[in-house]
Chains A and B, each alone.
Chain A
Amino acid sequence: MSAPSHDAGSGRMRITLKIWRQEGPNRPGKVETHFLPDVSPHMSFLEMLDVLNERLIASGLDTVAFDHDCREGICGACSLVIDGRAHGPEALTTACQLHMRHYSDGDTIHVEPFRANAFPVLKDLMVDRSAFDRIISAGGFVSSPTGSAPDGNAILVPKPDADRAMDAAACIGCGACAAACPNASAMLFVAAKVAHLALLPQGQPERERRALAMVHAMDEEGFGSCTNHFECMAACPKGISVESIARMNRDFALSFLKEAPDLPTGSSVG
């Protein structure tokens, strides 16, 4: 590489955006077309939306609502479907880390919110993902009240286990998995948390109860069933593997056999 490329030419691009607009929950939505004549290839996708919003304000129009916060790919706030793909065309990339250099002059880009029954649209591109918080509150934790912990090194964790736990714990809770799934299942999100804690000694005492409780909560929130399409893994910006799902199914089956609980019909684990 000779010259650092983000200094390279400032070739401006003309971009047409087809954006989902919806005033509120339970309101009809529509696709609106906007033209941006002057997009820099070094902008992030969200910075392009910022530019659009500045123009909308100047024209006296309402801005496009979208969730965003850290813009570093870690908070999980962004929730855009770009040209039919959750977080857009780049693998392992959240929408906020997608840069316009991946597009060409004259492109038309479709932007929609994450779609899932359990993620109702609040406005435009913004959805309600509080279902994920409720699933965590059902069991996605280790019950260790403050002050009750032994010395950190009293709990030894083999490095490979810690590394695999970290792989699963890297989930940012964005919901792309559910948005990408044809059944709008939240299996990968739930499985990532179950796997993270099941791989660690600290997670063992509640391991089976956790899987059971989280799967029940997922069902109650109206997420669909997992039928092994693995679109979730393709959409996941953090590369969470579907191996987690297999791991969770095992814990779920074990707890199911042991506790024989009353499961709601149509539970998503098959």
Chain B
Amino acid sequence: MSPTPPQLDSKCPSGPISERWDKHRFELKLINPANRRKFHVLVVGTGLAGASAAASLADLGYRVSVFCIQDSPRRAHSIAAQGGINAAKNYPNDGDSVQRLFYDTVKGGDFRARESNVYRLAQISNQIIDQCVALGVPFAREYGGGLANRSFGGAQVSRTFYARGQTGQQLLLGAYSAMMRQVGSGRIALYARREMLDVVVIDGVARGIVCRNLVTGAYERSAGDAVLLCTGGYGNVFYLSTNAKACNVTAVWRAHKRGAYFANPCFTQIHPTCIPVSGSYQSKLTLMSESLRNDARVWVPKQKGEPRPPHNIPDEDRDYFLERRYPSFGNLVPRDVASRAAKERCDAGFGVGTTGLAVYMDFRDAIRRDGEGAIRQKYGNLFQMYAKITADDPYHVPMRIYPAVHYTMGGLWVDYNLESTVPGLFVLGEANFSDHGANRLGASALMQGLADGFFIVPYTIGGHLAGRKLPAVSPTDKAFEDSERSVRERIDRILSIGGKRTVDSFHRELGKIMWDHCGMARTGSGLAFAKQGIQALRSEFWENSRVPTSSAGLNQNLEHAGRVADFLEFAELMIDDASQRSESCGGHFREESQTDEGEAKRDDERFSYVAAWQHEGVGKESTLHREPLAFEYVRPSQRSYK
């Protein structure tokens, strides 16, 4: 393998892993409290990462401007996370530790994450819980008043903190309230209904952004000393996903086109327990928290075309396929493993429901054991949501579930400081690639978003602000003018196409290509086919899409068109990344690389690296850079959940 290119210096500290973050923090430059107000930080996105970063930077005394795409920062998609947030508190006294959370996360990510980053995440996890409790997050409690924990997503310790089935909502509202306190104090300026369309780079450093005001249609320039992208993941490249409708790749893609490398874009997570697709009008998919797997048994009938309704099928005619294949982890195997196992049964013809693309998730035994009341207490809101969508009563009929796109581990490449390859451009939360490797464990996304925002970037940004010369810039500078012009020209071009097909139809077609060829299973030939399909679809989009032009101001279809145009460029990079990685790892399953038992087979000799892509122009082949991964503390092994 060639040596690490200089621009991919991870800046991970050396020395014993447990001391690295301390050592690094000590070595980072500090900014005098009186000087902090001279620095202006632009934060894009107000999910857990953005809201917690904005609040913490304002607490430190920086001037902060915050931009979000929704009508209120409280609606960022972190709000929809259900299950919980991990921390190594070991309150249940079951043997958890920072070391164990670190180990589980590196292993769960199938050895494709940086050890230094993951260790720091595990260390910080405990502080996050403390901070959230202090902010008034109403976590579940034991009768003695202490915080309650549960086991989640394949962990063999109970380290997950939760607030009913609405943990993301409660954490986000906590971070949002901390941010809004600083909006009230005047340290944060809040701009809602703004979409970031470009990063302005001056003398090689990120110094501002250009947004479109989604109400008036005006282009707005903002200059600052650092830009934080906290804009979430790109799961909606598949059209159908559990992401909210506004989730998109645009902010990070535009930053990528300005020089930020994109890392591991093919690492996407397919969540095993979602409500199956019901019709062609389907606009999104709904997750059923995997906490349900703690009390559910997943099965399909042993007989193909089984005519009996599920509750009339006796146990001997049921195939509890997760328990059969993975006796030690059973229904709690990690997400990628559970998803593939469900796909395998459905592909083999054992799926249920009208489409045959579903398996049963059954609570019968738990209800018999603990009573319906106990199950209602734990999962009442999830059962209610399921019943609303499907009109089935999951207390009496097993849920039907199928895997769906849920999270993207890939994202903009960042170093240990969460800084991208564009100096001054930091990337936090799901938008970066940093900590989850090739598969994210349950209840780890909330942890990472808040770690980045509360406890990492507030320190590491000092290294940038104190360490670099940052001459004054103004929104009237030529770089801003050029940026605004390019943004405006792209939108004007979309408005002028005047074709016949709706933007949504392009998005759906792109999603189908990606799901069929870059979803739960991928092959070299399928990926090559998909690449051609994407290129053809992108050409057609720019010739034949149709956006209502009656409104130059508030125009939701125009917003969607801009995002789909970016997805059509980004999708090709995802395909390229999946093509070059001919091993299987985590959520990336190449059919060419599997064990005799059909499990993902890694190839550490050839692929123990982060793939970081450099943009060379739309329609041109991107350049692949490799950051080698070294494992000093967790020896890579074939993951086994048997």
Q: Which residue of B lies closest to A123 (CB)?
A: B554
Q: How far is the CA of A202 from the CA of B132 in the complex (A)?
A: 11
Q: Which residue of B lies closest to A41 (CB)?
A: B391
Binary contact track A17-61/B, C-beta < 8 Å → 1, others 0: 000000110000000000000001011101100110110111011
Q: Is there a chain B Cβ closer than 8 Å to A71's Cβ?
A: yes
Q: How far is the CA of A1 from the CA of B390 in the complex (A)?
A: 13
Partner of B72, one of A47, A50, A90, A132: A132
Contact B283 A57 (CB under 8 A): no
Contact B390 A6 (CB under 8 A): yes
Contact A97 B281 (CB under 8 A): no
State which size class the interface on B falls in: 35 or more
With known contacts A1-B396, A153-B91, A69–B245 Cβ distance under 8 A: yes
- B-side residues, CB < 8 A to A, are 52, 55-56, 59, 70-75, 77, 79-80, 89, 91, 126-127, 129-136, 138-147, 161, 163-164, 166, 169-170, 173, 176-178, 180-181, 183-184, 190, 192, 215, 244-246, 278-279, 281-284, 286-287, 309, 353-354, 384-385, 388-393, 396-397, 400, 454-455, 458, 502, 504-505, 546-548, 550-551, 553-554, 556-557
With known contacts A71-B245, A169-B173, A129–B72 Cβ distance under 8 A: yes
Partner of A71, one of B56, B244, B392: B244
The residues in A between 120 and 144 inclusive whose CB is less than 8 angstroms from any CB of B are 122-123, 126, 128-130, 132-133, 136-144
Contact B548 A60 (CB under 8 A): yes
Contact B392 A5 (CB under 8 A): yes
Q: How far is the CA of A133 from the CA of B183 in the complex (A)?
A: 9
Chain A: minimal CB distance from B384 (Å)? 8
Q: Is there a chain B Cβ closer than 8 Å to A262's Cβ?
A: no
* Chain A interface, number of residues (Cβ within 8 angstroms): 88
Segment at the interface with B among A156-164, A226-234, A246-254: A156-164
For the complex of A and B, the 3 pairs showing the least CB-CB separation, nearest first, are A156-B145, A149-B134, A137-B184
> Which residues of chain A are within 8 angstroms of B183 by Cβ–Cβ distance?
133, 137
What are 27 A-B interface contacts by the 8 Å CB criterion?
A: A4-B353, A5-B392, A7-B353, A24-B554, A43-B279, A62-B550, A71-B244, A71-B283, A97-B385, A133-B180, A137-B184, A138-B184, A140-B177, A140-B180, A146-B56, A150-B130, A151-B130, A152-B129, A152-B132, A152-B139, A157-B145, A162-B140, A166-B164, A197-B136, A200-B138, A202-B133, A202-B135
Chain A: minimal CB distance from B230 (Å)? 15
> Which residues of chain A are within 8 angstroms of B75 by Cβ–Cβ distance?
69-70, 75-77, 173
Chain B: minimal CB distance from A131 (Å)? 10
Chain A: minimal CB distance from B539 (Å)? 21
Q: How far is the CA of A88 from the CA of B397 in the complex (A)?
A: 27
14 extra interchain contacts, Cβ-Cβ under 8 A, other than A63-B557, A75-B244, A99-B389?
A1-B396, A44-B283, A47-B283, A50-B504, A51-B281, A69-B244, A72-B80, A97-B388, A99-B388, A146-B458, A150-B130, A156-B145, A163-B141, A165-B136
Q: How far is the CA of A121 from the CA of B169 in the complex (A)?
A: 26
Q: Is there a chain B Cβ closer than 8 Å to A73's Cβ?
A: yes
With known contacts A69-B70, A166-B163, A196–B138 Cβ distance under 8 A: yes
Contact A142 B177 (CB under 8 A): yes
Contact A4 B390 (CB under 8 A): yes
Contact A71 B178 (CB under 8 A): no
Q: Is there a chain B Cβ closer than 8 Å to A265's Cβ?
A: no
Contact A57 B557 (CB under 8 A): yes
Q: How far is the CA of A129 from the CA of B193 in the complex (A)?
A: 11
Contact A146 B278 (CB under 8 A): no
Contact B554 A74 (CB under 8 A): no
Q: How far is the CA of A91 from the CA of B139 in the complex (A)?
A: 26
> Which residues of chain B are within 8 angstroms of A73 by Cβ–Cβ distance?
385, 388
Contact B548 A99 (CB under 8 A): no
Contact B77 A70 (CB under 8 A): yes
Chain B: minimal CB distance from A248 (Å)? 16
Chain B: minimal CB distance from A54 (Å)? 5
Contact A63 B556 (CB under 8 A): yes
Contact B390 A159 (CB under 8 A): no
With known contacts A74-B169, A146-B131, A166-B138, A130–B181 Cβ distance under 8 A: no
Contact B135 A5 (CB under 8 A): no
Contact B141 A67 (CB under 8 A): no
Chain B: minimal CB distance from A150 (Å)? 7
Q: How far is the CA of A148 from the CA of B278 in the complex (A)?
A: 48
> Which residues of chain B are within 8 angstroms of A140 by Cβ–Cβ distance?
177, 180
Q: How far is the CA of A122 from the CA of B136 in the complex (A)?
A: 33
Q: How far is the CA of A65 from the CA of B406 in the complex (A)?
A: 27
Contact A146 B455 (CB under 8 A): yes
Q: Which residue of B lies closest to A158 (CB)?
A: B145
Contact A75 B77 (CB under 8 A): yes
Chain A: minimal CB distance from B521 (Å)? 26
Contact A71 B284 (CB under 8 A): yes
Partner of A74, one of B79, B139, B141, B279: B79
Q: How far is the CA of A202 from the CA of B169 in the complex (A)?
A: 19
Q: How far is the CA of A53 from the CA of B287 in the complex (A)?
A: 26
Q: How far is the CA of A97 from the CA of B283 in the complex (A)?
A: 12
Contact B131 A147 (CB under 8 A): yes
Q: Which residue of A lies closest to B133 (CB)?
A: A152
Contact A69 B77 (CB under 8 A): yes
With known contacts A40-B281, A133-B190, A146–B55 Cβ distance under 8 A: yes
Chain B: minimal CB distance from A140 (Å)? 6
Contact B147 A153 (CB under 8 A): yes
Partner of B71, one of A93, A130, A144: A130
Q: How far is the CA of A139 from the CA of B184 in the complex (A)?
A: 8
> Which residues of chain A are within 8 angstroms of B145 by Cβ–Cβ distance?
156-159
Q: How far is the CA of A71 from the CA of B388 in the complex (A)?
A: 12
Partner of A159, one of B142, B161, B282, B502: B142
**Interface hub of A58, A69, A139, A142 (most chain B Cβ within 10 A):** A69
Partner of B554, one of A43, A65, A169: A65
Q: Is there a chain B Cβ closer than 8 Å to A266's Cβ?
A: no
Q: Is there a chain B Cβ closer than 8 Å to A14's Cβ?
A: no
Q: Which residue of A lies closest to B70 (CB)?
A: A69
Contact A159 B178 (CB under 8 A): no
> Which residues of chain A are within 8 angstroms of B397 by Cβ–Cβ distance?
1, 4
Q: How far is the CA of A51 from the CA of B504 in the complex (A)?
A: 10
Partner of A137, one of B181, B281, B354: B181
Q: Which residue of B lies closest to A171 (CB)?
A: B173
> Which residues of chain A are within 8 angstroms of B91 by Cβ–Cβ distance?
153
Contact B353 A76 (CB under 8 A): no
Q: Is there a chain B Cβ closer than 8 Å to A170's Cβ?
A: yes
Q: How far is the CA of A145 from the CA of B71 in the complex (A)?
A: 26
Contact A162 B52 (CB under 8 A): no
Contact B74 A133 (CB under 8 A): yes
Contact A40 B279 (CB under 8 A): yes
Contact A203 B391 (CB under 8 A): no
Q: Is there a chain B Cβ closer than 8 Å to A257's Cβ?
A: no
> Which residues of chain B are within 8 angstroms of A209 by Cβ–Cβ distance?
none
Contact B502 A58 (CB under 8 A): yes
Contact A57 B502 (CB under 8 A): yes
Chain B: minimal CB distance from A64 (Å)? 9
Q: How far is the CA of A53 from the CA of B139 in the complex (A)?
A: 41
Q: How far is the CA of A24 from the CA of B553 in the complex (A)?
A: 9
**Interface hub of A40, A42, A141, A196 (most chain B Cβ within 10 A):** A141
